[in-house]
Amino acid sequence: MISRYDDVVRVLNDTEAFSSQNALARIDRDNPPEVLEILSAAEPIAPVIVQCDSPDHAPHRLLWRRLFRGARISALKPRMQKIAEELVDAFAGDGHADLVGQFSRPHILRSVCALVGIPEDDHERVAAADWAFLMLLVPNVDVATKKRAAEQYVDHDRYLLDLFDQRRARPADDMLTELVALIDDPDEPFTVADVLMLIRGIFAAGTHTPADAISATLLNTLSDREHWERMLADPSVIPGMIEETLRRDAPHRGLMRITTREIELHGVHLPAGSAIFPMLGSANRDGEHFAEPDAFRPARDGVRTHVAFGHGPHDCIGAHLARTQARIALTVLAGRLPDLHLAADFSPAHYQDWFFWGLDRLDVTWPRAHRDAPTGR
């Protein structure tokens, strides 16, 4: 387990000595036989991009960059704004809410579905498929759960293949249409299996981290009214609040690496084939790199040097999207419900997950008279 900032950065940068290949479980190899039997009915299973080393990694990363281009994200901003407004509309008259279950998670899920081109009625189905995908990657899950996840995985293959056929018949201005054109182009190197895994990767990587970042930023600012009031008075400080939250409360734990040769790291001898876990949250609280690392200081110098989105060749391609989603969500919520307070009996608790770290819920209250406050746009 690699805890220091400099060591984590070294591991993430040096892909020759610290390999991603086979560092994470392979769904079609590292599961019990009865689970693999169910998965035999799925389409061929390609590696996840985070499991690839050079030269296989480069073409996949270029494709991800193309799909997450700035113009596409900019075009999605009005939709993200509308989603946030609709979510607040649904609970604004109640005077209380769980901002994890009623705001941050559905805001991110709906935003990513809109980006990809998933129909509105299928959002919960896609969320369940994402759960199934992650369960198949986690080693310490019981066989019964993995079998249920495998069945959902196979069903999701059929669902996505049907969506591909729909886009062939009726192209739309979305990512799905672009992906279908890609796999139908004989000059492109990507297969149906590649694209199926890419879509799964988008939801696995693109829904949990930003949702947890929004929830944690709300907890950090509502726990200290000075930060919340500053955000209300000047929405331009919101990006700084998000960055400091990403640093101090990194929502992604990290991904494994395997040493390709004998190596010494911070005085410790590591044989070839050692499993390495760079701990992103720990690196972000290294007092040698960040002064007063446990304090929430949004205006701190060098906050963007955090590694919440990874570092090096495998850093998160969707970081710009995640930051945009969080900024819009927080701006809308603060503008609509400026008198938010943590519920009197609320005590923060984090859900248990192999890959992610976030709040299980976030209970808040506000005077109902303020439910129609003007939006912060």
CA angle 265, 311, 359 (to 5 degrees): 105
pTM as predicted: 0.94
What tokens does 133 get?
């995908």
What's the pLDDT score for residue 374? 46
109: Cβ contacts below 8 Å, ≥ 6 apart = 123, 126, 127, 207, 211
Radius of gyration of the chain (CA): 21
> Is 369 within a domain?
no
Report the pLDDT value the prediction gives residue 369, as an integer from 0 to 100.
58
Whether 102 is covered by a domain: the verdict is yes
What the block records as the tokens of 187 is 């000059």
Q: Kindly report, residue by residue over 135-157, the tens digit of the pLDDT.
A: 999 888 999 999 999 999 999 99
So what's the pLDDT on residue 110? Answer: 97
**Residue 184, in any domain of the structure:** yes
Q: Which domain holds residue 153?
A: 5-357
Please, are residues 317 and 61 in contact by the beta-carbon 8 Å criterion?
yes
CATH code of the domain in which 197 resides:
1.10.630.10
Residues pairing with 62 in the sheet: none
Q: How many domains does one find in the chain?
A: 1
Beta strands in the chain (DSSP E): 18-19, 96-98, 257-259, 263-265, 268-270, 275-276, 341-342, 363-365
- Give the Cβ contact number of residue 315 at 10 Å: 13
Q: Is residue 363 part of a domain?
A: no
pLDDT tens-digit series, residues 72-110? 999 999 999 999 999 999 999 999 999 999 999 999 999
**Residues in the chain with pLDDT values less than 70:** 369-377
CA distance 86 to 352: 29
**Count of residues making up the chain:** 377
Q: Which pLDDT value is given to residue 114? A: 96
Look at residue 128 and tell me if it is in a domain: yes
What is the pLDDT at residue 373?
46
Does 372 reside within a domain?
no
Residue with tokens 């069945």: 151
Provide DSSP, 192-258: HHHHHHHHHHHHHHHHHHHHHHHHHHHHHHHHSHHHHHHHHH-GGGHHHHHHHHHHHT-SB----EE
Domain membership of residue 40 (yes or no) is: yes
With respect to residue 377, please indicate whether it lies within any of the assigned structural domains.
no
